[in-house]
């Protein structure tokens, strides 16, 4: 693998899931040779708890050096070609990416969308500018439109709890007080299309995902109907793509409660975290044995390990 920005960068996604599961059960300390002498530089333009810590843990387990930089707290970078830099932006992406590439064997970037400039966000502008100007491979630590490390960890978790039959997986929108990116939902459906599952997506009207992600999906606007017989319920809020970045609905009846889970086939609850308790999901579901949210977060480390291992071996 030369970069990791979406499932489309992965030759065999199922094999990557199997690699993560294998790495999870490797003896402690046995993997240090894989990344020995190699360095990952991770740039965070936006906050993170899980991605930051799990990717650092993964890199350390593989014997890598880890450098982290809070890019959001540094001076602002200029990303536009031909810019006259007489404003508040102190450094151009051309120099920044070239310099970081000298320190790094792999570069990780976390960058959220503006939720205002749809075309720019959906070109994954910041991530693509790093890829364009860096000479080291780039991995997404969540970009404007995708969160592939999360989706890989989600698939790993699904495999660990896969029932004997082909599972029904429901991605459901849930309310949230703030406008959130579509990245987790976009990425989840993109990866689940490659998995052996029945995928159903449910959300209020107006929350349709961009065509490149929603094409071919089964959409059910009635949440109760969608949840019927589900083996896995993946809850997530996202803001509208059509009315870009807007909150169209805060209908609390979309929160996942024990009553909602009663429609499922003794289903498991999933969420990428962080989660708003009693807004997205009721305490009684999140604190129940049906919740896999903590296991998903644990699998973030093994997902990152599988990706870093694959890239290290290709360096
Ligand atoms: N799920 C996830 O990406 O969490 P963080 O934002 O804390 O990294």
CATH code of residue 219: 3.40.50.1370
What is the reported pLDDT for 73? Answer: 87
CB 121, CB 114: distance < 8 Å: yes
- Residue 50, ligand 1, Cβ within 6 A: yes
User: Which letter does DSSP use for residue 254 in this model?
Assistant: G
Residues 278 and 305 in one domain: no
Tell me the per-residue pLDDT of 171-191, one tens digit each, with 9 for 90 and over: 999 999 999 999 999 999 999
Residues 311, 289: Cα–Cα separation, whole Å: 36
Pairing outcome for strands 65-69 and 138-140? unpaired
**Do 185 and 93 share a structural domain?**
no
pLDDT class of 305 with cuts at 50, 70, 90: very high
* Statement to judge: residues 17 and 112 lie in one domain: yes
pLDDT of 37 over the 90 cut:
yes
| Pair (87, 116) in one structural domain | yes
pLDDT of residue 164: 98
Q: Is 238 a member of any domain? A: yes
Give whole-number Cα distances, 268 to 135, 166, 188, 235, 286, in Å: 42, 14, 16, 11, 10
Tell me how far the alpha carbon of residue 262 lies from the centroid of ligand 1, in angstroms.
28
Per-residue pLDDT reduced to its tens digit, 114-130: 999 999 999 999 999 99
Tell whether 69 is covered by a domain: yes
CB 213 within 8 A of CB 247: no
Name 39's bridge partners. Answer: 65
On whether residue 191 sits in a domain, the answer given is yes
48 in contact with ligand 1, CB cutoff 6 A:
yes
Q: What is the mean pLDDT of residues 39-59?
A: 98
Domains: count for the chain: 2
- For residue 70, the enclosing domain spans 7-146+300-314
In a domain, 153, yes or no: no
2 domain-assigned: no
Cα 264 to Cα 170: distance, rounded to the nearest angstrom = 10
* Residue 109 beta carbon below 6 angstroms from any ligand 1 atom: no
pLDDT of residue 72: 84
In a domain, 123, yes or no: yes
Do residues 236 and 177 share a domain? yes
Instruction: Verify that 127 and 179 share a domain, yes or no.
Output: no
| Mutational test site, ligand 1, from 42, 146, 236, 273, max ligand atoms within 8 Å of CB | 273
Q: Are residues 195 and 82 in the same domain?
A: no
Q: Do 69 and 187 share a domain, yes or no?
A: no
- Could you tell me the pLDDT band of residue 33, with boundaries at 50, 70 and 90? very high
pLDDT digit string (tens) for 262-274?
999 999 999 999 9
Do 186 and 260 reside in the same domain of the chain?
Answer: yes
Among 110, 131, 106, 101, CA closest to 40: 106
């Amino acid at each position: 693998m030369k970069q990791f920005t979406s499932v489309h960068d992965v030759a065999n996604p199922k094999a990557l899931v199997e690699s993560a599961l294998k790495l999870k059960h490797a003896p402690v300390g046995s993997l240090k040779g894989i990344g020995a002498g190699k360095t990952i530089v991770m740039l965070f333009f936006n906050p993170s708890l899980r991605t930051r810590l799990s990717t650092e843990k993964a890199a350390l387990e593989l014997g890598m050096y880890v450098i982290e930089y809070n890019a959001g707290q540094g001076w602002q970078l200029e990303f536009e070609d031909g810019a006259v830099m007489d404003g508040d932006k102190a450094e151009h992406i051309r120099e920044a990416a070239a310099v970081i590439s000298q320190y790094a064997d792999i570069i990780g970037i976390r960058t959220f969308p503006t939720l205002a400039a749809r075309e720019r966000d959906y070109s994954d502008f910041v991530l693509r500018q790093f890829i364009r100007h860096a000479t080291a491979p780039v991995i997404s630590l969540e970009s404007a439109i995708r969160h592939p490390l999360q989706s890989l960890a989600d698939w790993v978790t699904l495999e660990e709890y896969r029932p004997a039959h082909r599972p029904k997986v429901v991605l459901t929108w849930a309310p949230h007080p703030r406008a959130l990116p579509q990245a987790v939902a976009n990425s989840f459906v993109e990866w689940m299309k490659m998995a052996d599952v029945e995928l159903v997506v449910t959300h209020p009207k107006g929350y349709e995902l961009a065509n490149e992600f929603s094409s071919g999906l089964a959409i059910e606007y009635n949440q109760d109907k969608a949840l019927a017989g589900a083996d896995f319920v993946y809850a997530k809020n996202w803001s509208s793509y059509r009315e870009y970045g807007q909150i169209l609905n805060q209908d609390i009846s979309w929160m996942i409660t024990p009553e909602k889970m009663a429609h499922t086939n003794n289903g498991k609850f999933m969420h990428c975290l962080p989660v708003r308790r009693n807004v997205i999901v009721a305490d009684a579901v999140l604190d129940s044995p049906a919740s896999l949210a903590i296991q998903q977060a644990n699998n973030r480390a093994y997902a990152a390990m599988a990706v870093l291992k694959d890239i290290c071996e290709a360096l």
